[in-house]
């Protein structure tokens, strides 16, 4: 999922509601993942708590997008401690 969210336009061409400035909504991710709605929702919330993605509620949809800063920080941490 994190890979997918690197290029939302490419990986979620079916998302019609507006643009991708807020990210991708749960339903789109679920469809692509082939897991149940509850599993995907929980997974996304874990990633969010870990700081890797951010969410924005817009109407009845929740959009998730990557928090690139977290990945940069992790990359540096890994580089210096691995």
Q: What is the helix (H) or strand (E) element at residue 80, kind and residue range?
A: helix 68-81
56 binds DNA (CB under 7 A): no
Which residues, other chains included, contact 6 with Cβ-Cβ below 8 Å and sequence gap of 6+?
66
38 binds DNA (CB under 7 A): yes
In angstroms, what is the minimal distance from the CB of 49 to a copy of itself? 18
Contacted by 10, from DNA, a copy of itself, none: CB < 5 to 8 Å by type = none
Nearer to a copy of itself, 43 or 71 (CB): 71
61 binds DNA (CB under 7 A): yes
Give SS3 for 54: strand
Pick the closest to residue 11 from 22, 71, 2, 60 (CA basis). Answer: 2
The pair of structure tokens assigned to 51 is 């700081």
Instruction: Tell me which residues touch DNA (CB under 7 A).
Output: 25-27, 30, 35-39, 41-45, 55, 57, 59-62
């Amino acid at each position: 999922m994190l890979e997918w969210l690197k290029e939302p336009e490419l990986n979620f061409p079916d998302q019609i509601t507006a643009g991708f400035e807020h990210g991708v909504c749960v339903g789109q991710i679920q469809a692509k993942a082939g897991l149940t709605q509850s599993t995907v929702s929980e997974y996304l919330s874990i990633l969010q708590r870990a700081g890797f993605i951010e969410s924005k509620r817009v109407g009845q949809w929740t959009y998730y997008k990557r928090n690139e800063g977290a990945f940069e920080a992790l990359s540096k941490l890994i580089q210096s401690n691995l």
